Structure 1
């Protein structure tokens, strides 16, 4: 099969994502440097013990995770910690898969560029953002191990956004007999699907909402957030206005994925707010990209919008991707006792205009 450069990058990274999710190592190359890396979330103990007999095991974690462990904000770069064979049991605690009870050592050094890209690969795969690395040498049969480059990891998110294509579209009648059309987008090789829900007639500068998927809110009607209300009031508002578009993006938990979002919920049960919960697990407060949303708008021949949001970062993100935001339309929901602190955090720490 003949593939162009962009397709080869997508195929390489998609294969690597699948393999680290299966608990298999992959090789990352950067110039003359190469490392083997495996996710601590999926690696089994037997494999790690076997690796530790032949190699020095290193664990790379984000600065946010290390700052949480050390209860300070002194670290400004991702850190790589050497893990001795007798301390392999510490790995799940260090990277956030288990509660911290006793850790032998978290002293490390700033991660190298190639180790930073290993972390980025874990983010793309929506695994806990930490990676085990060890030296690569020619004794390994690379025919059975995915080999990717630093450049491919860096290019993946940009390419996967730009390569979105319409897969299908169909009419859809929503609650209250609201007529709409849903259009599905995906790339030809891997990545997430995203959707445009087109309501009524579309003007030159339509009202749009970028809505990140929320399994707990949209589907289960959780009271812990305001996502369900925002989605349905946006649909009703657009219907009354004569038209609009919901961009339903599969970016659960502000881009960290559903499982990691549920992990953050367990941190919130201990008193952390939504920002601190994400950072305690090693993530940033918002991991979303706006290129996919901008690409879909351009596919629909829309270059300027009225953005239904309280979040100025969404407007900035679209503007940076070439979509003019004429104005932001406030989208404020009533709070309840279960989401009051969440809404307060969005206002005070994430800059939402609430």
Structure 2
């Protein structure tokens, strides 16, 4: 991930093959002399570029390798990777999709780009690439494994909603993200807590953005948990470090800019070549396990959270609806959640 942020090429190990393939991240590359014959992008981005057959050939975020008539230099590759440049570069192509024999390795590299917060687009075996960094896709699965998560620290933390609260901080050895849980009230054996799984939202939680409902949901959840504590129960807020549903702050702002052009949240992510939903619910389940919590009442409107936590071994005794009024700035956002992402909103 650090290599991608620096713009260094990756030498991706190929299962059963001798030589690795060299992949240069387009967004962060700094060598103007780079040139390649093919690019690796997502099928959702390929559809945006009018390779419509890719919708049938692959799921929206499967990797696709495309070839242009004259190949790609860094400037033309950047115009393909970044949808912010679509209006300034309307005539791209023609392109054709090439066979991709190393699909699993390509998918792992695209996932690595998402985690690093950069656009998922790579020059394949570019000329004049700098010295590469080795990447074995098997390492990504090990990095993602929530079993390596542990409790790093915990302390009493009085908050405005309830002064009898405790914060628990979690981390993995090679992951710079530090998730946390706020236990509102006193954790007690035999009581089923009210739980909210909340992914960080800088714009909503801190800046009071009206484009989403994250800030109001966070505040309302804390106050609902405080009521639980007053009535002899307790609540747990799982605060997950996965901005923008897992695409990162920079790409989230790119999606906002596309929304300003008229695209909804799902369409904006697809134009970026990124998933609409890539949050890590298995880690949330592991956090509950580490705190000794098995049964929960889950505050959510999202059936995917219910299914994912259930699949990870958490017993959800009740889904507690958590809908708040819309405003003129987030009405379309909430409608998209309901109509395209399956959230249980009225």
Q: Distance in 1 between matches of 2:112 and 2:99?
A: 18
Partner SS for 1:59: strand
1:147, CA displacement in angstroms?
1.5
What is the aligned partner in structure 2 of residue 8 from structure 1? none
Q: Paired residue for 1:268?
A: 259
Instruction: Establish whether residue 286 from structure 1 lines up as the match of residue 268 from structure 2.
Output: no
2: CA distance, partners of 1:75 / 1:219: 41
- Note the 1:104-143 alignment, pairs <5 A: 104-111=93-100, 112-113=102-103, 114-134=105-125
Partners of 2:99 and 2:177 in 1: CA distance: 32
Contact 2:162/2:226, CA 8 A, preserved across alignment: no
Equivalent position of 2:163 in the other structure: 178
Q: TM-score, normalised by structure 2?
A: 0.88
Q: Which one of 234, 250, 260 corresponds to residue 241 of structure 2?
A: 250
- For the residue of structure 2 that corresponds to 1:107, the secondary structure is strand
- Do the aligned residues in 1 keep the contact of 2:26 with 2:122 (CA within 8 Å)? yes
In 1, Cα distance between equivalents of 2:339 and 2:307 = 18
Closer/same/farther in 2, CA of residues 281 and 110 from structure 1, 3 Å limit: farther
Offset of 1:178 from its aligned partner? Answer: 3.4
Q: Name the TM-score, length of structure 1 as normaliser.
A: 0.86
Secondary structure class of the residue paired with 1:284: coil
SS at match of 2:326: coil
Is the contact made by 1:22 and 1:42 (CA closer than 8 Å) also made in structure 2?
A: yes
CA contact (8 A) 2:240 2:284 kept: yes
| Deviation string, structure 1 residues 256-307 (Cα, Å, up to 9, x no partner) | 1111110000111011111111111111210112111011000001111110
| RMSD of aligned alpha carbons | 2.2
Match of 1:78 among 63, 75, 85: 63
Listed as ranges, the matches of 1:1-354 within 5 Å are 17-31=1-15, 32=17, 33-46=19-32, 49=33, 51-52=34-35, 56-70=36-50, 72=52, 73-76=55-58, 77-82=62-67, 84=70, 87-96=73-82, 98-100=84-86, 101=89, 102-111=91-100, 112-113=102-103, 114-134=105-125, 145-158=132-145, 161-203=146-188, 204-242=191-229, 243-354=234-345
Unaligned runs of 5+ in 1: 1-16
CA gap of 1:273–1:71, structure 2 versus 1, over 3 A, is farther
Q: Distance in 2 between matches of 1:140 and 1:38?
A: 7
Q: Is the 8 A contact 2:83 2:271 kept in 1?
A: no
CA distance in 1, matches of 2:23, 2:302: 36
